[in-house]
Amino acid sequence: MEDRPDHALVADVARGDAAALRTLYLRYERPTFNLILRLAGDREMAQDMMQETFTRVWTMARTFRGDRGTFKGWLFTIALNLTRSELARKRRGSRHLAEDAVEELASQADGPDTLLQRSEVGRRVAAALAHMAPHLREVVVMKVYHQLKFREIADITKTPEGTLKARFHRAVAELRERLAPPRSGQP
């Protein structure tokens, strides 16, 4: 089972094979979890979105078309769309909050589990990504952490490659400011 290609496992999942779903899950758990985590910045939410994502894989496996792309691309598309919806729902819920109140809530999301996992620098990077517009964060996360080609990101996000590259340049400019070491005399 472990050596079988993705498309064969998805076909088994489409026939109701729970063991095939488990194999696919274990194969993609870490990259999918980290994709969602870096988009959402919250381990709790990443776990919920993992549940939603693989539930979709289970119920929608019959709609997967291997001739149109890879399983990983399909999986990332599901994870991305679910995370986008959840983040949008949360944003609507906190629309009335002031900017610093949102930041306070974001820092409260750094529970003991997060503190255990993330270094000080990691937390600074997470904070810098969290401040970016979601469409900029998406391209940075998929490009830098998942080494996807711009063509693959274009398929997942349904966005032209040129637009993605322009977003990447903008993201680099923003991150350069945010990740620059604090100058002496500044807090």
Partner 1 sequence: MVERSEGDRNALLDVHFGEGDARTLAATRAHVEGCPRCRQYLRILSDVDGALREWADEAPPPDLAARVVSRATRLPHHAPARASVPSAMPLVVLVPVIAAFVVSIRQLAEWLAALPFWVVLEKWPTVQGAAPLGAAALVLFALGGLASLAAAPALVMESRR
Separation between Cα atoms, residue 44 and residue 37, nearest integer Å: 9
Tell me the H-state helices in the chain.
6-14, 18-40, 43-60, 71-93, 99-108, 112-117, 120-130, 134-140, 150-157, 161-179
Give the DSSP letter of residue 143: I
* 111 forms part of the interface with partner 1 (CB under 8 A): no
Nearest residue to 87 via CA among 130, 58, 122: 130
Separation between Cα atoms, residue 116 and residue 137, nearest integer Å: 24
Separation between Cα atoms, residue 121 and residue 104, nearest integer Å: 19
Instruction: Quote the longest CA-to-CA distance of the chain.
Output: 64
Stretch that binds partner 1, among 46-54, 68-76, 81-89, 102-110 (CB under 8 A): 46-54
Q: How far is the CB of 98 from partner 1 (least distance, A)?
A: 27
* 22 forms part of the interface with partner 1 (CB under 8 A): yes
Nearer to partner 1, 96 or 145 (CB): 145
Binding mask 119-158 for partner 1 (x = CB under 8 A): x-xx-xxx--x----------x--xxx-x-xx--------
In this chain, which of 1, 26, 105, 115 binds partner 1, going by CB under 8 A? Answer: 26
For binding to partner 1 (CB under 8 A), which residues are involved? 14-16, 18, 21-22, 25-26, 29-30, 33-34, 37-38, 43, 46-47, 50-51, 54-55, 57-62, 113, 117-119, 121-122, 124-126, 129, 140, 143-145, 147, 149-150, 162, 165-166, 168-169, 172, 175-176, 179
